[in-house]
Amino acid sequence: MAFKGVESPATVSNYYKVTTPLAYSVCTEKEILKNKKQIEKKEPFSIKTTGSFIDFKEAIALQESNLNYRSVNSYGYMGKYQFGKGTLKFIGIKNTDDFLNNPVLQEKAFVAYIQKNKWILRREIKKYAGKTIAGISISESGMLAAAHLGGAGAVQDFLRSNGSVTFVDGYGTNIRTYLAKFANYDLKEIKAAKNPRVA
């Protein structure tokens, strides 16, 4: 095979053709030292978050499905945020195949469900946020995360019973875990809604 204005052999000509000479660029030693100095001046990489709604929803998704929009667990909960069919109907989604294949719809569904739970738990948020129950610091985001796991009613039962009544899902995850793990995110931008629907 020739290298000048390379034409590949007939056996692979439909798959690989090079019509100009190949060229590679390698940094000089001077450029490497310069780049190294620039890199050393920069702050080290950090995964610290700001506690925003985006941080909250991505943390929930990481816990629920490892950020996988196509995930379906052994109980039939589906998508990035692991919704059940009943919950989806509750916010206006009937076609689960469309839901599973539509990341935009899944993101809208998560927002709608948080809005609904925020409306259901509005009194509890006002009354209990900032208090400690059963050794857990209660926050709005913790309550909404726990409601995502076990429903708003389970959160109300926990709070009203001073932590003596609790919910555990089919995999053994207690809402106490979600109350603690997802505490102190700033969800002010999400407005409570009595009947949010996903269009």
What is the C-alpha separation between 148 and 35, in angstroms, rounded?
Answer: 47
- pLDDT 10s digits, 7-36: 444 444 444 444 555 454 566 677 667 666
Least confident range from 47-56, 101-110, 156-165, 182-191: namely 47-56
What is the structure's pLDDT at 30? 73
Q: What is the arithmetic mean of pLDDT over 99-121?
A: 97
Q: Class assignment of domain 53-181?
A: mainly alpha
151-to-29, 42, 72, 112 alpha-carbon distances in Å: 60, 45, 19, 14
Put simply, whether the predicted model's pTM sits higher than 0.85 gets the answer no
In the DSSP assignment, the letter for residue 83 is B
What is the structure's pLDDT at 16? 42
- Percentage with pLDDT > 90 across the chain: 73
Q: What is the arithmetic mean of pLDDT over 141-158?
A: 97
Would you list the DSSP string of 124-181?
A: HHHHHTT-EETTEE--HHHHHHHHHHH-HHHHHHHHHTTTSS--B-TTS-BHHHHHHH
| 3 state SS for 54-77 | HHHHHHHHHHHHCCCCCCECCCCC
Q: What is the arithmetic mean of pLDDT over 47-67?
A: 90
Q: Domain coordinates of the chain in residue numbers? A: 53-181
Taking 50 as the threshold, does the pLDDT of residue 65 lie above it?
A: yes
